[in-house]
Amino acid sequence: MGSKSSQGENINHFNAIRMRITGAGNLKLRFLSYDEVITEDLVDLILEATTNKEPTRLSNFKQQRAQLELKTTLKNETFKVNRILIFVKPMFTSYPG
Amino acid sequence: MGVLFFKFATVAVVGSRLDPGVPFSTGWWAGTPGVSTDQDLIDNINNITPYSNDTNPFSGNLTFELDQNTPIFQLDGGSFLSFNNLPAGFMIESANITFLGNNIDTPLYGTVQGIITGTTLANYNSGAAVTSFNSGSIDLCQGVAKTPLAFLALNVKIIFNYPPAQPPGNFHNAAYHFNIVSATYSSPNSPITITGSGGFKLAGAGYNIYYFVGGDSLDGNIGALISGAATVESNEFISGDGTSIDLEASSGTGVQFNGSFPFMSTIITGSGGILVSNTGADENNLVLSTDVSGLYILVPGKTNDTIYDRNDPLNITTTVVKIPDPYIRTAFLGG
């Protein structure tokens, strides 16, 4: 994870997510930058009512800050999230001045 | 425009030969001059027996006496109507009168002219030798539609001219008769137009409107509701339990229209509505919708939305639809 507070504007590499999630249907995963200028759709996650796994989805999203969106799009699809892990590694300190 | 047929009740025949020495009625018309029937007139002209070798022209005036109560007008082959029963605005568009010479053994010479109040109509015949005068006609209306009253008041002067250059006697050896062989009429639009939504509107003011619901009894006069071309919907009739309404419009010249139209199907539900405007003239414009939405009912475990179709209040059906793309977003991470 990034810093506890906004102490820097490093350019980070959001490279994976892992979640404890149950439900039904296909979960749409997407990273979004500020103002949704840049987005990246991840591979859908097939939801199960019960599971013993916390699946991981890889990503390759490089932004200073990012937002993760979870969404279903079909009738009777549901999801319940208990925990989200987002793997982030700082890559650069700033854009060229 | 329809086809009009005349049956003249009485016709006045007033004739005079242009030669003042010989009255037109003496020897020229076999029948009795003066007021006679249309058949008399036809018979008279049918039996012209002029003096031989006479080259003088002769003429006669035909007038049609107005009889307002005798049915003499036949519209499109229907029953005969009197003048008083003609629809308001009835106009005679054309009335072709023709003269027939029926002696084909002797060549005919001369022309037949019609004069109506100073207007000379086209010659019926050019004057060339023909075997009959049946190749044309004279339109008494001359392109100007006339009211029945104006038409019956026409005084048509008919002139038979004999060309001096032709051998005497030939013209007068012929026999002639005339008749109105074709006529057309027009009638104004019905004073009432039935609208498709179960109402009616008038072409103008000046009519008394009576309506009958569920029978022949006179239920009311709704003339007060009528204003010019305003549309009156059937839901303005608050009485009656029938499915249609009989309507009768009358003006100063009698009944102008009678007919019926069905009540329009109207379902007003009082279970909901939208006040679409609260200012100005429309402040009371309440719109009732037949498919107003209901409130959400929270149901544990429910994973969709349910829409209630209220178009048929007596048989409400439901449709299950998805919840529009539920989603969550984390806060912005990184920094």
Q: What is the average pLDDT across B250-264?
A: 57
Lowest mean pLDDT among A41-45, B73-77, B167-171, B327-331: B167-171
Least confident of A56-65, B48-57, B84-93, B220-229: B48-57
Residue to mutate among A4, A41, A67, A80, with most B CBs inside 10 A, is: A67
Interface confidence, given as ipTM, is 0.90
Predicted confidence (pLDDT) at residue B86 exceeds the cutoff of 70: yes
pLDDT (mean) for B255-276 = 52
Residue of B nearest to A76 (CA): B303
Q: List the single best residue of A28, A33, A61, A75 to mutate versus B (max B Cβ within 10 A).
A: A75
- Distance (Å) from the alpha carbon of A52 to chain B's nearest alpha carbon: 23
Looking from the CA of A80 toward its CB, the CA atoms found within 13 Å total 9
Q: Residues B181-208: what's their mean pLDDT?
A: 62
In the predicted structure, residue B27 carries a pLDDT above the cut 80: no
CB B111 within 8 A of CB B123: yes
Name chain A contacts of B303, Cβ cutoff 8 Å. Answer: 24, 75-78
Interface touch A74/B322, C-beta < 8 Å:
yes
Please state, for a pLDDT cut of 70, what percent of chain A lies above it. Answer: 92
Q: Determine the residue of chain A that is closest to B325 in CA distance.
A: A73
Q: Which two tokens stand for residue A95?
A: 């854009």
- For residue A5, pLDDT over 90 is answered with no
DSSP-assigned states of every residue in B185-230: EE-PPPSEEEETTTEEEESSS--EEEEEESSSS--EE-GGG--TT-
Q: Do A76 and B304 touch (CB under 8 A)?
A: yes
- Predicted confidence at residue A12, as pLDDT, reads 94
Cβ–Cβ contact A25 with B under 8 A:
no
**Cβ within 8 Å, pair A77-B335:** no
Q: How many residues does chain A have?
A: 97
Strand order in the sheet with B231-233: B192-195, B199-202, B231-233
Lowest mean pLDDT of A15-29, B119-133, B280-294, name the range.
Answer: B119-133
Q: Establish if B268 touches chain A: CB-CB under 8 angstroms.
A: no
Per-residue pLDDT, B30: 32
**Which residues in chain A have their CB less than 8 angstroms from residue B331's CB?**
67
Percent of chain B predicted with pLDDT > 70: 21
Scanning every residue of chain B, which has its alpha carbon at the shortest distance from the alpha carbon of A84?
B330
Residue B107: the pLDDT is: 42
DSSP per residue, B4-38 = EEE--S-EEEEEEESSTTS-TTSSS-SS--EEE-H
Res A19: pLDDT: 96
Q: Which of chain A's residues have a Cβ under 8 Å away from the Cβ of B335? A: 2-3, 5-10, 12, 64-65
Mean pLDDT, range B70-80, rounded to an integer:
74
Q: What per-residue confidence (pLDDT) applies to A21?
A: 96
Cβ contacts (< 8 Å) between B327 and chain A: which residues? 28, 69-72
Using the Cβ of A16 and the Cβ atoms of chain B, whether some distance falls under 8 Å is answered with no
Residue B311: the pLDDT is 65
Q: What percent of chain B has pLDDT over 90?
A: 2
Interchain contact B299–A (C-beta under 8 A): no
Average pLDDT, chain B: 57
Distance in angstroms (rounded) separating the CA atoms of residues B180 and B192:
33
- pLDDT, residue B46, reads 39
- Cross-chain residue pair B334–A69, CB shorter than 8 Å: no
Residue range B113-120: mean pLDDT, rounded? 58
pTM, two decimals, is 0.35
Higher pLDDT, A44 or B291: A44
Q: What is the pLDDT of residue B144?
A: 78
Provide the 10 A C-beta neighbour count for residue A36: 10
Residue A57 clears pLDDT 70, i.e. is over it: yes
Average model confidence (pLDDT) for chain A?
Answer: 91
- When pLDDT is cut at 50, 70 and 90, the band that residue B91 belongs to is confident
Please tell me the distance from the alpha carbon of residue B293 to that of residue B296, in angstroms, as a whole number.
9
pLDDT band at A26 (very low <50, low <70, confident <90, very high): very high
